[in-house]
Amino acid sequence: MQNFITSMRVKPLLLCGTLVPLQVALAAPAAHSHPSNYEHPTTALAAAVDQTITGRVTDDQGQPLPGATVVVKGTTIGTGTDGEGRFSLVVPTANAGGTLLISSIGFTSQEFPLGTRTTFEVRLATDTKALEEVVVVGYGTQKRSDVTGSVVSVPQDRLEKIPVSNVAQALAGAVAGVNIVTSSAVPGAQPSIRIRGVRSITANADPYIVVDGVPFPGSLNDINTNDIASIEVLKDASSTAIYGTRGSNGVILISTKRGKTGKPEIRYNGYDGPEFFVNNLTPLDGPAYAQKYQDFAAQRGFTPTQPLPNSAEVVNLAAGKTVDWMKEIQQTGSIQDHNLSISGGTNDVKYFVSGEYFKQRGALKGFQFQRVSLRSNIDADLTPWLRIGTSSFFSTNNDNGGRADLTLAQVTSPYGNLYNPDGTYAIYPQLPELLIKNPLLALTTTRESVVNQLTGTGYAEVAPTFAPGLKYRLNATYSFRPYRYAYYEGREFGNLNGYAQLLNDERRNYTIENILSYARDFDKHHVDVTALYSSQQNSYFTTTENASGFINDAIGFNGVGGGSLTPTISSYSERRALLSQMGRINYNYDSRYLLTVTARRDGSTVFGVNTDKYGVFPSIALGWNVANEAFLQNNALLTQLKLRFSYGTTGNEGVNPYQTITGLAQGQYAYNGVPTTSLYAGTISSGGRIIANIGNADLKWERTTSANYAVDFGLLKNRITGTVEYYVAKTNDLLLNRQLPIITGYSSILANVGSVRNQGVDVALTTRNIDKPDFGWETNLNFGVVRNRVLQIYGTGGDDIGSNLFIGKALGGIYTYEKVGVWQVGEDPSGQDPSAKPGDLKFRDVNGDGTITSLDRTYQGSTIPEWQGGITNTFTYKGLSLRVFFQTVQGVLRNNGNLNFVDLGGRSNTPQEIGYWTPTNMSQDRPGLNYNNPRGYSYPSDASFTRLKDVTLSYNFPSSITEKLHMGNLSVYASGRNLYTWTDWVGWDPEQSYTVGNGTGNGGTNYPNVRTVVVGLNVSLR
Amino acid sequence: MKRFTLACVGLLGAAQLLSSCEKEYLDEEPPSLYTPQTVLVDSLGFEAAMAGLQSVVREQYTSAGLQGLLGIMQEGTDVAIPGQVQGVEVPYYNYTLLNSQDGGASYYWSWAYRTINNANQIIAGAEAAPASLRQGYKNRISAEARFFRAYAYDFLATLYGDVPLVDEPVTSPRTDFTRTPVAEVNEFIVNDLTTAIPNMFDATKATSGRIARGAAQHLLGQVYLRMNKPADAERVLQTLISSNTYKLITARYGVRANQPGDYFSDMFIVGNQRRNQGNTEIIWGIEQQLNVPGAQTEAQQRRMWVPAYYNVKGMLIADSLGGRGIGRMRLSNWVDYRLYPQGEGAADMRNSRFNLKRRFYYNDPAQTALFGKRVTGLVGTDTIFFITPYTTKWNQYNPADPFGYGTIKDLPMMRLGESYLLLAEAQVKQGNTAGAAASVNVLRTRAKAAQVTADQMDLNFILDERARELIGEEQRRITLVRTGTLVERTLRLNGASVTGLTANKALMPIPQSEIDRNTSGTLAQNPGY
């Protein structure tokens, strides 16, 4: 709380009163100091004539049922059962003629007239209807059968027993319409998530992530997957519109585990295993590399004086000494995770505490990622009408370490030198060539990159006893996220001055939500109403210091002031805030006819002075549970049938702050060697952080209006269940970094331009193919098809080639020439491409004018996949289960940088999988070594793939054994990930991005995809 | 219950109060961002904006993104041939590859318009600046900005022909540009310069690194020549020369005055390049300084001009050889062997071993058999960029950085020597060959070269003399395009190094991305692309 108050910005908010209810609510229990007052609220009223009743509640197996509710119907007189299922309740005389109601979630309630009976032995039957899945929706929960929106629960088995470092990796391919793009396999890298395609280009396309009801400001890497109880993905406008401006890209709701009444349960989950480098590109070996230089010389038209470009290589060639750089940069990777949790509680206070240690050692030298996290979730019923709780967690993760360079290893000569004669790394392996540094050199650098995430959430829930169904909830979350990056490179890296960089940033976020809800059944009418008032603020501050001129490498960044040359420093500060109001009405009649109406109004700082900062986002959804109609009761074929329709609008404010303001970049310049502040428009500052942009005061929300049509069905006693959904989403006022002619002085402006439509079908199907007591086979299939089309831009009716926007075509388009082959010796190019030489790429003369010009470019496809899906087959035999999961992504075109890179003018190696044209091999695919791609052809290639994503074999020990061991549960498993990929893509991975060439440094995203195999253990003690 | 009621009342009260705070809560005030409205209000702001403008201007010839960019200005002309090329310069000697997606044409175009935008910001800002700012200051800062705007438009008009004319900051997403005829652009340039000249500081008064009156006069003279107004050119150049603000260097000076060398080479040594360092000849130099933030770039001049001699066994990277070059280009045979005629060329200081290095000696003591001997007899055609004559104007070596990515020395943009050559050109164009010979002889006297006579004077001689005086400093392509001699001179003097050079290729293509992005207007392409 102190943090709130010290922040000046929050002060008006305090006055605004959002915190007032919290203070009042929290003050409440403190005023009544005796806990017994509310455990037995009636004792004071009805003195000696009260009657004490006792009893024991069990389930239908006769096992004690802790936490069951025992209450005198229509009053607040009540208690709960203890760990043995026993209860004791004092009933005032006034209520002696009442009815005792005994209930527990998942069981059918029972009622008993009180009369003279004082002991009760109650066995509650399992309620099949109540067991029905409850799903988390925005600002609440709903029974699965009452849901009208498109809400998909992620299968629980995706969260355990798979070696993943974050949640998104677990989601890949598991949910229809959710696309996880793993653009880097670097340990600690985060995949991006796209729900139902890409709506926006410039604005953020990431879904909104909500953890335990409050927006999550950190990174998915911070969340321990073992802590997750459930994940729901909200896809359509009806379910996301209550998140207003944050809803356009879909919403992911994560609920963490919470304590349950009963004996403490101690759980340990852990796994460990190696990771393997998947070798997709192999540099040319010595002889082939030497041949390439001869071929290069012949194609460039010169006679080389020596057999290889550099004298150091010539020496090694003569000595027959080669280096396998790919082998040198590798090590055996590993991945391990240890997770311990303790949960339990009494009727009034429940807890869940967990800790995790995750460590990944890369398959490339120097790469690693580790995380330590701690979570504590507490819920406490302070009075019958007040419950408070906290969810708080701390995580620290780092990907420290200087890293070997895959890109460089790919291009360094096999005749280069790995070491100097004294055993240190050779800085330049192929002297006198100074362009290519040793791929292992970055291992000599010191690099620290640590992010800490501290999040505290508190809630108070007030359910006044006089107004059943009414509930007020206050959520307050504060998170603090400091990040520190420190780097030093010195003499061993070839930097004779030494160079240090320090970067520190802090992100502070808070959210305060007031939620008022009311749920009530009137006969067969069910009504539930929710209202919200919330405010949110994110602030960011960063500083950077760069220094060089260190006398030696002893202290590095620890003494950044030791740099004798003038340091450069910069800082940046940013704030964004959001104010929201929301209302929702859910109505259903007899769980047959369902209606949801929502509206949200959001105001954001990031939009213009000339426009309204507020936007209103309404939605409506209808559902019909056909299976609940009398005419379908006991139907042998059709067990479940629900029709759903929703329509609504969501927004997107996912742009950086200050885009409405024309800014000046700050840099430095010098007159006569004296540094001077310099400010200029339209370029990037030397700090590299602030892009001096042309502001757009007219900036407003991007709005997506979508319709969703869905059928949920269950056939043959739910042996086959599934959902088919069709949706059309149209995004207007598309936020786009519109490319401007540089004549304006600026290369782009953020503007609302045009509209885009996404339409698609999501299908999810589960079939229980074999369902025997000992043997089962279940298949889960999901796939999503999405068609993305640009409808209009600027209202002009024309394409904007410069911004890569083409009417009637998908976003993410690739617009380039059509390669039809390679010019061969003796072919006459004069009628098609008069400048071409043998070995040059041959392009189609689309307009037939006898020459290749910019008019011969065409739209060739999109980086958005046409369809994708996943199929999981699970086989169970007694305690043994085998799960096999395939993922596929089809119809994607990507530019392939590997093909675009040639060999730096004969000076570097290239992968043998890529190859090159020679007059004798007459390749029709690859150009010659002297081709410098004057037209900027981008080498679009099919990036479709199918992957055997994971296979898990697990064994659950039977209870006969676990009981002997005094365990609740014991299972062991072996799991493999990224086992095999089928693709035509030439490169390290079709999904991932790599830089190509001679870049040195710390590897960036350049990391091969890895294959992982682990063995794991899950144990619980109770 | 009471508490609950209180909480509800609190909430209701809060809702009431909130309506009054909302506005402030959603206001957007960038805490760490400067804006034109907060900067261009006082002299400190204008000074920072001027430094910003100059840092953009500097990018013209200091970019390292496309390392071969500088080669565009030399290769495919009469003075240079390609060496170890990077790629971007290739279409400028193999002209058949020059198309509208050319990286070089796009880079230089972008540079010019970013410069113009930054100049426009200052000119418009000075007009709108509060009265508290002295009118004299506003005029002067505006004049400096006008010089750079004129410089950028002259560059555009020379190399691209008709170009869109933007004379104020753009505040909305404009995409309706059209090309303004060169004649109109020229009038605009002349107006900027003639407005600027009376308001600028004289070099004696200007701070080091700032633009002064002489630069505007020099540029105006050159613009008049391009406009074929030689009389106007002569008038303004005579004013510049006779002002005596600048003087040719005729004696040894500076940091290496006591070491081997000559006074012509003194001008190009780090520490000697500025007016306050004794260089009375420099009119406009873009300053750079090692290890000073904001004063360093990754300019590629040395790597372009100095050969990759270290690739030859027995040769090591050396200070005296100019540090590490990579020989991206080399001088043409015409410059190497014909520019200085046998006999009389030996006397010309500009051809001395301190200025045009022709001989190499093995310098690796480990190679005892070779050490100290002259490098000769290399075979293999790749040696043309290992051992080849080169101008020493870009020599620079930093022992802490033997790789030598950047060139951290001043870029001489204009010096009085060139003003004499522009004057001679104006005189030749008016038929005053005697005057032209006199102007040229000022430089030849200084260089201790043989005198010329009036009957030798024609445009070609002036252009030859420019190569002798300005090789390495001059952006040769601009001069040849300006004088309409690119095709003729290149084919005549350096024909073997070019392919497909026709009259259409003299002008660069309008960048395709500009045509593509200009969705509401039509930017016509130059013929031939």
CA B170 to chain CA centroid, nearest Å: 25
Q: What is the pLDDT of residues B257-296, one digit of tens each?
A: 999 999 999 999 999 999 999 999 999 999 999 888 888 8
pLDDT of A26 > 60? The answer is no
Most confident of the following: A342-346, A854-858, B47-51: B47-51
The answer to whether A535 contacts chain B (CB < 8 Å) is yes
pLDDT of B18 > 80? The answer is no
| Of the candidates A480, A498, A484, the residue with the CA atom closest to the CA atom of residue A543 | A484
CA distance A835 to chain B (A): 5
Average pLDDT on A552-568 reads 88
Q: Locate tokens 């002075």: which residue?
A: A609
Side chain identity at residue A436, one-letter code: I
Predicted pLDDT at A557? 93
CB contact under 8 A, B287 and A798: no
Predicted pLDDT at A20? 38
Least confidently predicted of A638-642, A676-680, A999-1003: A999-1003
Least confidently predicted of A547-556, A617-626, A658-667, B469-478: A658-667
Residues B315, B417 contacting (CB under 8 angstroms):
no
Cα A778 to Cα B157: distance, rounded to the nearest angstrom: 73
Most confident of the following: A262-271, A559-568, B2-11, B158-167: B158-167
| Of the candidates B423, B421, B471, B428, the residue with the CA atom closest to the CA atom of residue B446 | B421
Cβ contacts of residue A749 below 8 Å, gap of 6+? A693, A694, A696, A737, A738, A740, B173
Average pLDDT on A978-995 reads 89
| Of the candidates A70, A141, A76, the residue with the CA atom closest to the CA atom of residue A109 | A70
Count how many residues are written for chain B: 529
Q: Where are the beta strands (DSSP E) in A61-161?
A: 69-72, 78-80, 86-91, 99-103, 110-113, 119-123, 134-137, 140-143, 151-153
Side chain identity at residue B380, one-letter code: G
Least confidently predicted of A134-138, A336-340, B419-423: A134-138
Tokens of B385: 């960029």
Q: Best of B517, B522, B523 to disrupt the A interface by mutation (most A CBs within 10 Å)?
A: B517
Mean pLDDT of chain A: 84
pLDDT of A440 > 80? The answer is yes
Tokens of A626: 């056909």
If contacts are CB pairs under 8 Å, which of residues 274-333 in chain A contact chain B? 297, 301-306, 310-311
Q: What is the pLDDT of residues A469-483, one digit of tens each?
A: 899 999 999 999 999
Q: Where are the beta strands (DSSP E) in A605-695?
A: 614-625, 638-652, 665-671, 674-680
pLDDT of B95 > 60? The answer is yes
Least confidently predicted of A935-949, B192-206, B375-389, B461-475: B375-389
Burial of B54 (0-12, 13-18, 19+ CB in 10 A): buried
Cα A531 to Cα A513: distance, rounded to the nearest angstrom: 10
Helix (H, G, I), strand (E, B) or coil at B221: helix
Residues forming beta bridges with residue A357, ordered by sequence position: A338, A372
pLDDT band at A6 (very low <50, low <70, confident <90, very high): very low
Predicted pLDDT at B6? 54
Side chain identity at residue A856, one-letter code: D
CA dist A488 to A300, A364, A495, Å? 41, 20, 10
Tokens of A167: 């949640």
Tokens of B183: 């004649």
Cα B215 to Cα A224: distance, rounded to the nearest angstrom: 66
Residues B322, B394 contacting (CB under 8 angstroms):
yes
CA distance B493 to chain A (A): 22
Q: What is the pLDDT of residues A787-838, one digit of tens each?
A: 999 888 876 777 888 778 898 999 889 999 999 999 999 999 988 888 888 9
Count how many residues are written for chain A: 1022
The answer to whether A613 contacts chain B (CB < 8 Å) is yes
Burial of A15 (0-12, 13-18, 19+ CB in 10 A): middle
Cβ contacts of residue A834 below 8 Å, gap of 6+? A850, A851, B96
Residues A642, A624 contacting (CB under 8 angstroms):
yes
Tokens of A477: 């979350």
Cβ contacts of residue A382 below 8 Å, gap of 6+? A28, A29, A38, A348, A388
Strands A841-843 and A819-822: antiparallel
Cα A513 to Cα A473: distance, rounded to the nearest angstrom: 8
Side chain identity at residue A359, one-letter code: K
CB contact under 8 A, B519 and A796: yes
pLDDT band at B7 (very low <50, low <70, confident <90, very high): low
Predicted pLDDT at A443? 93
The larger pLDDT score, comparing residue A345 to residue B109, is at B109
- Give contacts of A306 with chain B, Cβ < 8 Å: 380
Q: Looking at the partner chain, which of B22, B30, B118 has a beta carbon nearest the beta carbon of A658? A: B30
Chain B residue closest in CA terms to A668: B294
pLDDT band at B5 (very low <50, low <70, confident <90, very high): low
CB contact under 8 A, A801 and B516: yes
How crowded is residue A859: how many other Cβ atoms within 10 Å of its Cβ? 16
Cα A999 to Cα A988: distance, rounded to the nearest angstrom: 17
Chain B residue closest in CA terms to A384: B1
The answer to whether A681 contacts chain B (CB < 8 Å) is yes
Q: What is the pLDDT of residues A296-332, one digit of tens each?
A: 989 988 888 788 988 899 999 999 999 999 999 999 9
Average pLDDT on A418-432 reads 91
